[in-house]
Amino acid sequence: MVARAHIGKLIIGGTYPVRIKGMLKGSLTDRSSLLAEARALVTEGAEAIRIAVKRPGEAAIAQYLKKYIEVPLVADIHFNYKLALEAVENGFDAIRLNPLNLTKQAEIKEVVDAAKRADISVRVGINSGGFKKDFSSEQALAAAMVSSALAFLKILERRDFSNITVSLKASTIRATTLANRLFAKKSDYPLHLGITATGPYQEAVVKSSIGIGGLLSQGLGSVIRVSLTAPSYLEIRIAKYILQALDLRSFGPQIISCPTCSRCQVDLIKIVNDFQKEALTLHRGGHTLPGKIALMGCEVNGPGEARQADIGVAFGKKRGVVFKKDKIVGFISEKSCVTELLKRCVKMPYGTAKSRNSAKTQK
């Protein structure tokens, strides 16, 4: 069983659901923009927010943001242990320390003792880019990442400190996977998963989904952070899609739709986009919708997929057949299908499909 850590009130590890962490990208000097960004992350579903603290005095941002948002804050610290001490003093709920650039034992001990007194968490975060040498293979890199993390953890453990999460991130999926799997064999600290420096948006989404999703599907990982060269709220959205795709958590209705082909006689791409937008608006407004909703382009796979969802529609020419499980319950026209299907959805109890299970395991 994975150990537990806590970042403020957010419990990580144990049997708790996999958490989603975000990161602010804006300048700390433009406080109102930063607050708007933080609020967007919270609205999207971030459960903890990391902030890079680079200079003396910057940690005071925690005091400002905490006046407006309740999500716990994590200070990302490199090189300078005094910044970590400032983060603790200013009310951050966790600090991320990098064993590859915070190496003096006396400094580490001072930070850990301060974190312990304040009852805040430490993430021991290794990034492969922090090594100053090349490795002969990805296995060798992964082994070096793990041994650096374990050596750092020993210092924390000798101070009787255990409110810890660990991350081992590389820019390749293979090295990240090897490092996390190796670490999990040696230690039960909760793992924070991520693939770092993933590249442009679409490639980054693919890399993150395979890397993070692969580890999650092997039962590893207690908190995830998706890194994209894109606005920060998109990182949270993709994190939610990854968790939902693996049926680990549910954040609203899952839409099952086909890729369309020449058999499709409606504009399914538009229908699905419009439906998703409206469904999310209803979900955010407090309406409960079915867990799985299928929108299929024709009668070939449509009825089958629609039946496996809580509710579904298989389109034909200008209209669609609506299924609830294996029963046909009506017909809807192409023109008003989004509104008509949503009307039927909001009247249903929240999902009977298995994706709903994880919705209850939060908090």
Which residue, 199 or 304, has its beta carbon nearer to ligand SF4?
304
Closest distance of CB 303 from ligand SF4, Å:
10
Q: Could you tell me which residues come within 8 angstroms of residue 263 by beta carbon, excluding any fewer than 6 positions away?
A: 297, 298, 300
Give the total of residues touching ligand SF4 (CB under 6 A).
12
Sequential DSSP letters for 162-204: --EEEEEE-SSHHHHHHHHHHHHHH--SPEEE---S--SHHHH
Closest distance of CB 208 from ligand SF4, Å:
27
Binding mask 235-274 for ligand SF4 (x = CB under 6 A): -----------------------xxxx-xx----------
CA 134 to chain centre: 30
Please identify which residue in 297, 303, 312, 351 interacts with ligand SF4, judged by CB under 6 A. 297
Report the 10 Å Cβ neighbour count for 209: 19
Q: Which of residues 300-329 bind ligand SF4 (CB under 6 A)?
A: 300-302
Closest distance of CB 280 from ligand SF4, Å:
23
Q: Supply φ then ψ for residue 322, to 5 degrees.
A: -95, 130
The SS3 of residue 256 is: strand
Closest distance of CB 262 from ligand SF4, Å:
7
285 near ligand SF4, rule: CB under 6 A: no
DSSP 317: S
Please identify which residue in 220, 298, 306, 338 interacts with ligand SF4, judged by CB under 6 A. 298
Which residue, 27 or 262, has its beta carbon nearer to ligand SF4?
262
Name the β-bridge partners of 166.
124, 191
Reference 135, options 125, 124, 147; nearest CA is 147
Closest distance of CB 299 from ligand SF4, Å:
7
Which residue, 162 or 301, has its beta carbon nearer to ligand SF4?
301
Helix (H) or strand (E) holding 118: helix 105-118
Q: How far apart are CA 77 and CA 95, in angstroms?
A: 7
Q: Which residues bind ligand SF4 (CB under 6 A)?
A: 258-261, 263-264, 296-298, 300-302
